[in-house]
Structure 1
Amino acid sequence: MPDSPAPQSPQSATTAAAPAPARQSLAEAGIPLGPLDGRYRAAVAPLADHLSEAALNRNRLHVEVEWFIHLSRRQVLPGLAALTAEQENGLRAIVTDFGPEGVAELAEIEAVTVHDVKAVEYYIGRRLEGLGLGHLKPLVHFACTSEDINNLSYAVGVRDAVVDVWLPAARAAVGTLRELAASAAGIPMLSRTHGQPATPTTLGKEIAVFVFRLERQLARIERQEYLGKINGATGTYAAHLSAAPDADWPEVSRTFVEHLGLTWNPLTTQIESHDWQAELYADVARFNRILHGFCVDVWSYISIGYFAQIPVAGATGSSTMPHKVNPIRFENAEANLELSNALLDSLGATLVESRWQRDLTDSTSQRNIGVALGHSVLALSNVTKGMKQLKVAEPVLEGDLDANWEVLGEAVQTVMRAQAIAGVEGMDDPYERLKELTRGHRVDGARMREFVAGLGLEPDAEARLMALTPASYTGLAEELARGV
């Protein structure tokens, strides 16, 4: 019996896979893993000054140096004298001079200590001799647990990132909405409740609704408190009192935290409770969600022609369809707002819990704060750019209104109700009569005016309705838009 044929591989002999080419290591070349440090770096780069690992270490240096100076100025320990102005300046120069060489040196120290905050302590200690402060090396990180330094460093970094980067980007984006709300305040537009033609409004008024909502969230974020603590391993000042029992350590702690521009948290475990972070991230996430809704609305208005997109010279909308100008700015913003909120929601849920007096879940979580805000900043950048590439297509809005005279049914039946209350005869069942005329039917101007003329309204009421058009049936929309 002949041998059975060998089983065929999934690929036939004639279509064997080509051997994988030898490839250079992109990892060894330092290529970024994520898009925020790669493709989108330019839009989010300012956050690196506040929320990168290097920025965190610079803030740690800042907190350690200021604690050293604070203890010296208050002379809380026996034999501890105040520093000279030159020595204080020299200490602060450790922070201001921290750059790429310092980052590399700190990494070398941490490779030995396998502890990031301890590496910061040693980094400062190396420089004290040159300042004539070698004998005060034990004062660096005095009575501190790592979280005393970390919570203050994160608070400073998050505060500066929000105030210096996120808020300006948010205001710029909302500013473009405000400009459109003002310029389009009087441009009539057909509303669509449940996606169906409804009582007209103005384009500016609908944009102004988002402006009002977003600015309310910005006001909340601008009032945000950034809390900090420095009270030892379990928040009891035990080590502090052991070394200097006569010092008012809560007062020393309070004045130091406030010196950093933060709000003092007087009662904690080993960690600052992070409630303020959860509050902040919830507010930013809510802002993101409102903006996401705006992007969806604008995308939809573009799709029905209410906005024309201004082509960017040299840009390609589709690789195969030359006519396309895609609303990519708003689509990109939607996706990045969703990514931002996924992280912000996770941070807010994770950071408010800690097992007993401390666990380490907050440590790795907080390293993603910059990523969470980065996706939001990227979205804000796209909204700002996208808004500047829109032009209102007024003829399309006008045509849409003129094709939907049935939306005046609301006005007619409401006037009939008012006439009935005033005692005018023949105004029975106004809603049902307009429902019969308009529901599921297209009604043009002539038919609507014919209906109004046959109602027997008082002259002034009839004149008001006869003059009404879908484009003029916008109530106080223009005034409301300008009011914002």
Structure 2
Amino acid sequence: MNLTTLNAISPIDGRYRNKIDELGAYFSEEALIKYRVKIEIEYFIALCQIPLPQLEDFDSKVFKDLRKIYQDFRTEDAIRIKDIESVTNHDVKAVEYFIKEKFDLLKLESYKEFIHFGLTSQDINNTAVPLSLKDAYENIYMPEILRLIEKLSSLSREWSSVSMLAKTHGQPASPTRLGKEVQVFVERIKQQLKLLNEVPFAAKFGGATGNFNAHKVAYPSNDWKAFGTHFVQNVLGLSHSFPTTQIEHYDHLAAFFDGLKRINTIIIDLDRDVWQYISMNYFKQKIKKGEVGSSAMPHKVNPIDFENSEGNLGLANALFEHLSAKLPISRLQRDLTDSTVLRNIGVPLGHTIISIKSTMKGLGKLLLNQEAFDKDLEDNWAVAAEAIQTILRREAYPDPYEALKGLTRTNSKIDQKSIAEFIDTLDVEEHIKEELKAITPHNYTGI
């Protein structure tokens, strides 16, 4: 069976592939292999630049040809590496042998043993994975989340003067403004994004158990810790974790996944609120010609984009939760469980990107139903009671809360007329009564 979007097991590689196809350049098997090749090549170049005695005569003009090995990396190259792996049964060793083949073609046979010199496979994996994640975060995730922030900010400005009845505990509460309620989500996402951007993309680089044992025994006078830090931070643009065991301890990676999870949770909150507003008829949705809302009920236009987003975010968060809980734990100096789960980090990122795009699509369909906002406010004049009793407190009126409670907790309808009649019974000066009568559910919206 040839793999297609119709027979893929995972929906992110099937139904939703067109929404996250660009993630394949960072999290596919081919992408991981390419990043490994890049690390190996850049490491060899860094050794030449120390330089080690045996590499002092290496022509730096050849660096360009070496970098082309990963810059011009093709699917055929990945297939060749997988063929080698079928013999070695070791994925990183297969990369080393592949690069050695390339060295033969470049007439660099005498330098081949400095490929992967002194390293363990985790020096390659624990730099390749965070580098691919960093690139995907900067090139794919950040543009998407910033587009969502800008869309919400635009709606917040557009709806800044739209008064609406707030609902606390699902019941009518002091009025607010729709634009302000949207801005709450903008600020929440921005604050968490700020925290997320402070988490470094950390990488381990130090040999079999993190101590540069092999490097030290071969070249005892070199400062290998300084070399490792320079390579990871200045060449690769990551943060060097030291000391470590054979693997990166993943504490920063766990924090990163927790940060993404918190942002996802905020978007779930947004999705559910907008879904509720649609059910309250505060919003109608743009109708696309030919689109079916329900297979049985022709009148329906379902809020499917927000539901799709919520479902995908739930899947993403479940995986982020496992990743952040599992990765920092390794038996003694290492076990292979981290290698297994790290191959899946693109999955929650995929579900997250799908969700953000779905939320964006849903927001783009919203049509403000001003009549519903106005009716809800008119039907709930009782919310003006808080304002009235607060002004009466200011004026030292006796027991204002109790007086308003008696008015607003009756079963009779509270409207503008009954509020005005109540105000007329108060023993306060006329200008205070006028001040109280000027309060409406539409204008009692705070700052």
TM-score by length of 2: 0.97
Q: 1:233 to 1:214 in 2, by over 3 A?
A: same
The runs of at least 4 consecutive aligned structure 1 residues that moved more than 6 Å come to 26-30
User: What corresponds to 2:430 in structure 1?
Assistant: 459
Letter in 1 for 2:320: L
User: What corresponds to 2:312 in structure 1?
Assistant: 336
User: What corresponds to 1:382 in structure 2?
Assistant: 358
Q: Secondary structure at the match of 1:461?
A: helix
Query: Which structure 2 segments of 5+ residues have no match?
Result: none
User: What corresponds to 2:117 in structure 1?
Assistant: 142
Report the Cα distance in structure 1 between the residues aligned to 2:5 and 2:290, rounded to whole angstroms: 31
Alignment counterpart, residue 254 of structure 1, candidates 229, 253, 260: 229
5 Å matches for 1:75-224? Answer: 75-76=51-52, 78-81=53-56, 83-224=58-199
Q: 1:452 to 1:249 in 2, by over 3 A?
A: same
Letter in 1 for 2:181: E
**For the Cα contact (< 8 Å) 2:6–2:14, is it kept in 1?**
no
Report the Cα distance in structure 2 between the residues aligned to 1:246 and 1:218, rounded to whole angstroms: 44
Offset at residue 237 of structure 1 (A): 1.0
Offset at residue 222 of structure 1 (A): 2.5
**For the Cα contact (< 8 Å) 1:73–1:82, is it kept in 2?**
no
**Identity percentage of aligned residues:** 42
5 Å matches for 1:29-44? Answer: 31-44=7-20
User: What corresponds to 2:29 in structure 1?
Assistant: 53
User: What corresponds to 1:244 in structure 2?
Assistant: 219
Q: 1:35 to 1:283 in 2, by over 3 A?
A: same
**For the Cα contact (< 8 Å) 1:188–1:397, is it kept in 2?**
yes
Offset at residue 239 of structure 1 (A): 0.7
**For the Cα contact (< 8 Å) 1:36–1:44, is it kept in 2?**
yes
Offset at residue 363 of structure 1 (A): 0.5
Q: 1:81 to 1:301 in 2, by over 3 A?
A: same
Report the Cα distance in structure 1 between the residues aligned to 2:4 and 2:83, rounded to whole angstroms: 19
Report the Cα distance in structure 2 between the residues aligned to 1:145 and 1:232, rounded to whole angstroms: 5
Q: How many residues align?
A: 445
User: What corresponds to 1:429 in structure 2?
Assistant: 399
Report the Cα distance in structure 1 between the residues aligned to 2:446 and 2:179, rounded to whole angstroms: 13
Q: 1:29 to 1:255 in 2, by over 3 A?
A: closer
Q: Is 1:373 the counterpart of 2:343 in the alignment?
A: no
1:79-113 CA distance string (max 9 Å, x none): 22153343101111110121111121111111111
Q: Secondary structure at the match of 1:151?
A: helix
**For the Cα contact (< 8 Å) 1:317–1:325, is it kept in 2?**
yes
User: What corresponds to 1:363 in structure 2?
Assistant: 339
Report the Cα distance in structure 2 between the residues aligned to 1:30 and 1:200, rounded to whole angstroms: 49
User: What corresponds to 1:7 in structure 2?
Assistant: none
Q: 1:340 to 1:240 in 2, by over 3 A?
A: same
Report the Cα distance in structure 1 between the residues aligned to 2:19 and 2:430, rounded to whole angstroms: 62
Report the Cα distance in structure 1 between the residues aligned to 2:57 and 2:63, rounded to whole angstroms: 10
Q: Is 1:326 the counterpart of 2:302 in the alignment?
A: yes
What RMSD, in angstroms, separates the aligned Cα atoms of the two structures? 1.4
Report the Cα distance in structure 2 between the residues aligned to 1:354 and 1:285, rounded to whole angstroms: 23
Offset at residue 29 of structure 1 (A): 10
Q: Is 1:294 the counterpart of 2:270 in the alignment?
A: yes
Q: 1:132 to 1:166 in 2, by over 3 A?
A: same
Q: Secondary structure at the match of 2:55?
A: coil
**For the Cα contact (< 8 Å) 1:178–1:211, is it kept in 2?**
yes
Offset at residue 36 of structure 1 (A): 0.4
Offset at residue 190 of structure 1 (A): 0.2
User: What corresponds to 2:415 in structure 1?
Assistant: 444
Report the Cα distance in structure 2 between the residues aligned to 1:365 and 1:385, rounded to whole angstroms: 31
Letter in 2 for 1:126: E
Offset at residue 308 of structure 1 (A): 0.8
**For the Cα contact (< 8 Å) 1:227–1:262, is it kept in 2?**
yes
**For the Cα contact (< 8 Å) 2:310–2:355, is it kept in 1?**
yes
Report the Cα distance in structure 2 between the residues aligned to 1:457 and 1:290, rounded to whole angstroms: 46
Q: Secondary structure at the match of 1:36?
A: coil
**For the Cα contact (< 8 Å) 1:339–1:375, is it kept in 2?**
yes
**For the Cα contact (< 8 Å) 1:188–1:200, is it kept in 2?**
yes
Query: Which structure 1 segments of 5+ residues have no match?
Result: 1-24, 421-426, 477-484
More deviation, 229-238/79-88:
79-88
Alignment counterpart, residue 409 of structure 1, candidates 385, 389, 396: 385
Q: Secondary structure at the match of 1:37?
A: coil
Report the Cα distance in structure 1 between the residues aligned to 2:229 and 2:90, rounded to whole angstroms: 27
Q: Secondary structure at the match of 1:456?
A: coil
Q: Secondary structure at the match of 1:463?
A: helix
Q: Secondary structure at the match of 2:266?
A: helix
Report the Cα distance in structure 2 between the residues aligned to 1:353 and 1:369, rounded to whole angstroms: 17
**For the Cα contact (< 8 Å) 2:5–2:14, is it kept in 1?**
no
**For the Cα contact (< 8 Å) 1:143–1:239, is it kept in 2?**
yes
Q: 1:26 to 1:145 in 2, by over 3 A?
A: closer
Alignment counterpart, residue 315 of structure 1, candidates 280, 286, 291: 291
**For the Cα contact (< 8 Å) 1:74–1:82, is it kept in 2?**
no
Report the Cα distance in structure 1 between the residues aligned to 2:249 and 2:381, rounded to whole angstroms: 59
Q: Secondary structure at the match of 1:388?
A: helix
